[in-house]
Structure 1
Amino acid sequence: MFRLLSRRLFSSNSFTPSDVLRNTRNIGISAHIDSGKTTLTERILFYTGRIHEIHEVKGKDGVGAKMDSMDLEREKGITIQSAATYCTWKGNQVNIIDTPGHVDFTIEVERALRVLDGAIMVLCGVSGVQSQSYTVDRQMRRYGVPRVAFVNKLDRQGASPFRVTQQLRDKLKLNASLLQVPVGVEENFRDIVDVIREQTMHFEGDRGEKLVLSDTIPTEVRERVKDIRQELVDRLGDIDDAIAEQILNEEHPSAEQIEAAIRRQTLALKFTPVFCGSAFKNKGIQPLLDGVLKYLPSPTEKAINALRITQGNDELGNPTSVETPITLTSDPSLDCVALAFKLDDGRFGQLTYVRVYQGTLRRGDNLVNVSSGKKFKVPRLVRMHSNEMEDVEELSSGEIGAMFGVDCSTGDTFLSGNSAEKIAMSSMFVPDPVMSLAVAPTKKDTASNFSKALQRFSKEDPTFRVSFDPEAKTTMIAGMGELHLEIYVERMKREYKCDVTTSAPYVAYREAITGKVTFDYTHKKQSGGAGQFGRVAGYVEPLPPNAETKFEFVNGIVGNAIPPAFFPAIEKGFREAVTKGPLIGHPVWGVRVVLTDGAAHSVDSNEMAFRMAAMGAFRSVFAATSGEARPVILEPVMKVQVSAPVEFQGVVMGGLNRRKGTITNATTESDFVQIDCDVPLAAMFGYSTDLRSATQGKGEFSMEYKQHSPVPQSSQEELINEYKKKRKDEAA
């Protein structure tokens, strides 16, 4: 349908490609788990005519929501993989990505927001701002994504859009204001009043598909509507010059002027309009869609930041790349620039999801992968509707689609084959895994499928890492949490017919130093003939806590104490040393190595000698736990949020204390208490079972990675002794 619309627009004298772009919205739907994202997407697709039947996430008919296409998603009632679709609303093209809410799958939200222009932030009308809401908020801020908020589930007991809006202001520090007021509460929720145009919206029909407007506002909410409207104008007056001038002149802004101000400030990331309704009860969806068109940006209104890469040479004549920030233009006639943001291994080979930022991507075009330098021809282009595909001939600037049969990685940039410039889109943030498992196939004849599964999953998901422990001779998989790894183990069984055995969860500890220490280390080896000699001297110090890198090497040598040709080998030696610390064999984080002196032998010095010298120097820094470096072990600490009935508050807090948790906040809403705390990941294994037992199945919790913090001294000694014992047993 959109293709037909595009052709009509392009063939008309009154429309240009820019008009089509202005009528396009690329949005994501993000929220804390179980806030109703997928149910909301299902209603959007129904009201826009994209689907003709509504199925619930945990429906009794066994079909499940359209956007949850995996069997595991339908069984567990959660979204595991982000799913793309598109629809048309009032002549506007809306591309949608429905994202998971569980923190274990946060990379799906991360890469979706990286390529989207706007977002709907969904909040539960009862629970309000929850732990994953903070994560989603950080991701939206990271990529500068304007958002509208939608307070869902107003039919539930204890729901209040006014309380949730205040939480947006207090907890997320957003300048948020309601644009709507519900009529009726909880099970009596029936209508919504638009406070800007002062109209009541009735949702009639079996599925609320018929929207009827009335100028009569129910008496029960008339004063509330008046107050909310005044509050909205006041908040806009604080940030918008046009509204402020009207207020100073004692003028009353019209509905059109208020809406224009909301759009300006939403795009400027200074305001968050708040809508409300109940997706499950089919109320509030059409006004939300109108809000997406009114207040969220088109591809032409979002700055497209990229990097121009030029080749050069450093002072030693070595080739280097210089990256210069540039801004691209959403012009379909320019050279094509597209970004691969998600990979999926489907029935027809690798499916690469792409966002076209500039130019037009056509089937049969010659492209170049900026990362690898490889050239290829686009064999097939599709647009996605969950797990369904529609073949297309081209994807224009601002559109989202997918390519088949392209060998690439997540985050790769594609350019037109004849492009005179080398351009790369800015990369996306990928969090480090916090948990590992040792896995092995139960049957030898499934080893091939086991390898294929690991290769596919690690390519699809940047937070899923695979490694081999040569000492234990086991394959390790690492991810963002228990559920994350559990899902992949289950997918191996279902999709690759490969049963695997798993070990106990393996926590991603890190090692670090807390003090500055000097080193002066000489590596000598003489066994007849040419030997090995390399001396390195300098100091190691901890990096600042907010440093972007985990390791930094600085060459501070003045003069030719060490020939420059050996500097890369020295840096390589230090980088190898930090991959496995001497305390418990985990990577070393947050260190800066500064090389200040050294010595070389005219015959015996070589790259191997200096690499070994660097590794020996680094190990010497950690030789004594009581030395100047004061090495410590860091453990992942999780931000945990527990919700349970008030009568179980004492037993829940007691359980968290036993798990070494530090309670930071506890609030009571209706009959439920919400407890926020920080707990070491190592203490959280099996907590879901304990919480269900302690609260008669009524409690629930969520957790996300917060930071790595030093373990207590007693625990550090215990971990070091366990590691020594393990090494001793393996040697025996």
Structure 2
Amino acid sequence: MKKHRRLRNIGIIAHVDAGKTTTTERILYYTGNIHTLGNIDDGNTVTDSDHQEASRGITISSSSVSANWNYNEKTYQINIIDTPGHIDFSIEVERSLRVLDGAVALFCASSGVEPQSETVWSQSDKYNIPKICFINKMDRIGADYFKVVSDIEVEFNVSTLPLQIPIGEGDDFEGVIDLLKEKALYWNSDNHGNTWETKDIPDHLKPLADKWRTILIETISNFDETIMLKYLSNDIISTDILNEAIREITLQQKAVPILCGSAYKNIGVQPVLDAVINYLPSPEDIAYIEGINRLSNEKERIRCTREAQLTAFVFKVITDKYFGKLAMVRLYSGHVNVGSTILNSRTNLKNRVSRILKIHADKHTELNEAQSGDIVALIGLKDVKTGDALSQVNMPFSLENIEVLDPVISLAIEPKSKNDEKHFGEALAKILAEDPSLQVAFDKQTGQTLLQGMGELHLEVRLERLRSDFGIQLNKGNPKVSYRELLTQDVEHTEVFKKQTGGTGHFAQISFILGPRRDQEKGLEFVSEIKGGVIPKEFIPNVKKGFLEAMSSGVLAGYPLESMRVILIDGKIHDEDSSALDFETVARNGFKKAAVLAKPELLEPVMNAEISCPEDYLGNVTSDVSKRRGVITAIKENGIKRIVSAEVPLIETFGYISALRTLTSGRGSVTLQLLKYRKVPERILDQIGC
């Protein structure tokens, strides 16, 4: 248990370009894991070890690293996940947060709370993850610490606990004032910030420091009665007591501690590590894990201890050229040894663990055992996928899975060389196993393989992986939008399937009402009103299956249906000729005929576009958004920049990043996130081919 008390599993989350990878690099340097500082611009950071990450200057895959930090003469192990900031790779953030205990949320001191900041914060809230904030890039022009603190409170509706205030901002940024210890900290530039000096607070900053220390203690008092009584009695409140109170407040997610600095300038990173140890949870702070006992099909809680039964979650699958398939897992309870036989609760297959690895970016350490709280890679698991739960043999236990959004864009792809055709399917299967947000479809009309994903960058990166890692050169088509179809009115229909083949025939008849769902939910709502056994109970699931399969290809333009409702009201069977397969077939046939009469409409994906640009270019940006059939919903000030929020059809955003750079002389940026599906205007239907 001592090991667990000195273990932290944390993620670093933020908007793209807030400094996640640079901050992680500094953490590794100050903890002694690396001896030379890497930088994004030089393409030599540890966590962006993939050549695409190095060349693009962004994080694509969540990367796991481990570091040891000495605090109060004790050594703590910190497992860190450096996650992507680009919205196309949000599945990487989602599955990382699923297994973490705490998070460090980074914000740029000049840009503040940005669109993707809100997305990752919301994702972390979904998994009830306690957070601390680090306002980075205090050395940037336009840095405004107090504005960012205010924005965090307003945008996320949270209370904040600023533990530091900056000494200067922008070019004048020198260090930070620790409000708990009431000291000024200055980092030494001659040794890359490895050491720092503690001095008295400068006289001109004492009033400001006193003001914010008072605010800090008053905020803590609002959540801690002991602190309140001491504060009202003017008693001395020790730093240790304040730290204990802040930890409880953070774990209960009543408020978020805030620190500041500049990772690039090597200022303020070590206090973040201290805060991780002080305020974020260890695995033992999570008392139990909840899931479904597969034997009883009932909810059950398992204590998160080494002595409990094994419960582990596969949050990522990696194909490695040396080890083959690696299953990245978080152990919530129990333990696993090399040679152990464990059960995959999804497949009900037994697997022998041949090796256990502690992953350090692109390096690893062999382990003999992993136990509750650990994040490791297991080798030897067959047919394993993201979201699988691993448990002890004869004790199957499943956990809540990861929600994966449907793809919104597709590309037709094929290998250039016939020699690559035999390897094409195998390579495609490997990258699909690694990325749940990536899908493949086969177009029956054209015979093309369609790669489907979350955006242009997402598909571009995965295609480059096929080329670089598997040596497959590809021909590709233009990106296409994944439209949806929707029925708009109810239709009653009777369908008969009857076929004689010389032997046993085929017969099935159903009467049903087909139309839109009333509850605004997605998928198929199937209601059976069959009475008197006119259709045997064992055939009704096959009717549902037939309609479900039919939804994958609508009657308007062959696109999937977003949702629909089917009420099965009557039917007939033949004593000798009817089979379950016949009722699947009659449902599919009936859908095709009835859906045409249900006035189907074509829906297009609409993106929430958050565009950042200097005020001088605002007119260019808003005019261009209008030309792209976009609707501007808000324009906000963010320092010297303006943030334009708009709803823009996905098809109109193809190539938009390049166009925006031209419009703003390279000073604009945009994040795009799927917002909703909306009816395609009549004038656009001809362009789509409907």
TM-score by length of 2: 0.95
Q: Equivalent residues in 2 for 1:515-594 (5 A)?
A: 515-525=489-499, 530-543=504-517, 547=521, 549-594=522-567
Q: How does 1:485-500 map to 2 (within 5 A)?
A: 485-500=459-474
1:304/1:545 Cα in 2 relative to 1: closer, same or farther (>3 Å)? farther
**Equivalent in the alignment of 2:20:** 37
Equivalent position amino acid for 2:570 in 1:
D
**Using the alignment, how far apart are the partners of 2:677 and 2:226 within structure 1?**
47
Q: Contact between 1:132 and 1:704, CA under 8 Å: does it hold in 2? A: no
The 1:632/1:240 distance shift into structure 2, 3 A limit, reads farther
Structure 1 distance, partners of 2:105, 2:298, is: 33
Of stretches 332-341 and 120-129 in structure 1, the one that deviates more from structure 2 is: 332-341
Which residue of 44, 55, 61 corresponds with 1:64? 44
Residue of structure 1 in register with 2:578 after alignment: 605
Q: Which residue number in structure 2 is paired with residue 206 of structure 1?
A: 191
Q: Does 1:454 pair with 2:423?
A: no
| Distance in 2 separating the partners of 1:586 and 1:340 | 32
Given the superposition, is the C-alpha separation of residues 247 and 264 from structure 1 closer, same or farther in structure 2, using an over 3 Å criterion?
same
Letter in 1 for 2:536: P
> Aligned residue for 2:388?
412
Q: Which runs of 5+ in 2 are unaligned?
A: none
The answer to whether structure 1 residue 88 and structure 2 residue 68 are counterparts is yes
8 A contact 2:315–2:329 mirrored in 1 = yes
Letter in 2 for 1:119: A
Distance 2:552 2:169 in 1: 57
Task: Tell me the residue number matched to 2:335.
Answer: 360
Question: Which amino acid letter does the alignment assign opposite residue 153 of structure 1?
Answer: K
Alignment correspondent of 2:684: 715
What's 2:481 paired with?
507
Q: Post-superposition shift, 1:324?
A: 2.3
Relative distance call for 1:646 and 1:394 in structure 2 (3 A) is same
Give the equivalent residue in structure 2 for 1:705.
Answer: 674
Structure 2 SS opposite 1:357: strand
| 2:663 counterpart letter in structure 1 | A
1:468 Cα deviation after fit? 1.4
- The letter of the residue matching 1:350 is K
Residue 211 to residue 551, structure 1, CA distance change in 2 (3 Å): farther
Q: Deviations over 1:410-439 (max 9, x none)?
A: 11122233xx42212221121221110000
Match of 1:175 in 2: 159
Change beyond 3 A, Cα 1:323–1:714: farther
Instruction: Tell me, yes or no, if structure 1 residue 684 matches structure 2 residue 673.
Output: no
Q: Which amino acid aligns with 1:427?
A: N
The 3 A distance-change label for structure 1 pair 546 and 260 is farther
Q: CA deviation at 1:680?
A: 1.0
The one-letter amino acid paired with 1:212 is E
Distance 2:244 2:432 in 1: 45
1:28 is matched with which residue: 11, 20, 37?
11
Displacement after TM superposition at 1:406 (Å): 2.0
Counterparts of 1:55 and 1:264 in 2: how far apart (Å)? 36
Provide the aligned C-alpha RMSD in A: 2.0
Q: Are positions 1:623 and 2:596 aligned together?
A: yes
Distance 1:538 1:428 in 2: 35
- Code of the aligned partner of 2:3: V
Of 347, 351, 356, the residue aligned with 1:381 is 356
Shift in Å, 1:87: 0.8
Is the contact made by 1:305 and 1:426 (CA closer than 8 Å) also made in structure 2?
no
In the alignment of these two chains, the number of paired residues is 683
Tell me, in whole angstroms, the C-alpha distance in 1 between the residues paired with 2:385 and 2:324: 14
Distance 2:490 2:355 in 1: 56
Range moving further from structure 2, 698-707 or 519-528: 519-528
Superposition deviation, residue 250 in structure 1? 6.7
Q: Which moved more, 1:604-613 or 1:123-132?
A: 604-613
Alignment match, 1:10: none
3-state DSSP of counterpart to 1:489: helix
Note the alpha carbon deviations across 1:244-291, whole angstroms, 9 max, x for none: 555666767543333222211211122111111110001111111111
Cross-structure match for 1:398: 373
> Does the 8 Å contact 1:544/1:590 carry over to 2?
no
| 2:649 partner amino acid | P
* Separation of aligned partners in 2, 1:30 and 1:236: 25
| Aligned residue number for residue 280 of structure 2 | 296
Please state whether the residue corresponding to 1:42 is helix, strand or coil.
helix
Mapped to 1, the partners of 2:218 and 2:246 lie a distance apart of: 12
**CA 1:452–1:603 in 2, change beyond 3 Å: closer, same or farther?**
closer
CA distance in 2, matches of 1:674, 1:308: 44
Q: Which amino acid aligns with 1:593?
A: V
Q: For 1:86 and 1:461, how far apart are their aligned partners in 2?
A: 23
State the Cα distance separating 1:451 from its structure 2 match. Answer: 2.0
Superposed displacement of residue 542, structure 1: 3.2
Equivalent pair of 2:287/2:304 in contact (CA under 8 Å): no
Q: Provide the residue aligned with 2:150 in structure 1.
A: 166
Partner of 2:205, secondary structure, is: helix
Q: Contact 1:193–1:200 (CA<8 Å) still a contact in 2? A: yes
SS at match of 2:315: strand
Q: TM-score, normalised by structure 1?
A: 0.89
Q: What secondary structure, in the 3-state scheme, does the structure 2 residue paired with 1:623 have?
A: helix
Match of residue 665, structure 2, among 671, 677, 696 = 696
Instruction: State the alpha-carbon separation in 1 of the partners of residues 225 and 601 from structure 2.
Output: 53
Deviation at 1:658, TM superposition (A): 0.6
- CA deviation after TM superposition for structure 1 residue 621, in Å: 3.3
**CA separation of 1:238 and 1:443: change in aligned 2, threshold 3 A:** same
Quote how far apart the aligned CAs of 1:391 are. 0.9
Q: Which shows bigger deviation, 133-142 or 700-709?
A: 700-709
The equivalent residue for 1:319 is none
Out of 306, 324, 336, the residue aligned to residue 332 of structure 1 is 306
Please state whether the residue corresponding to 2:66 is helix, strand or coil: strand
Q: Which amino acid aligns with 1:412?
A: D
The residue that corresponds to 1:111 in the other structure is 95
In 2: Cα distance, 1:309 partner to 1:554 partner: 29
Unmatched tracts of structure 1, length 5 or more:
1-17, 312-321, 724-732
Aligned position for 1:315: none
Change (3 A) 1:41 1:606: same
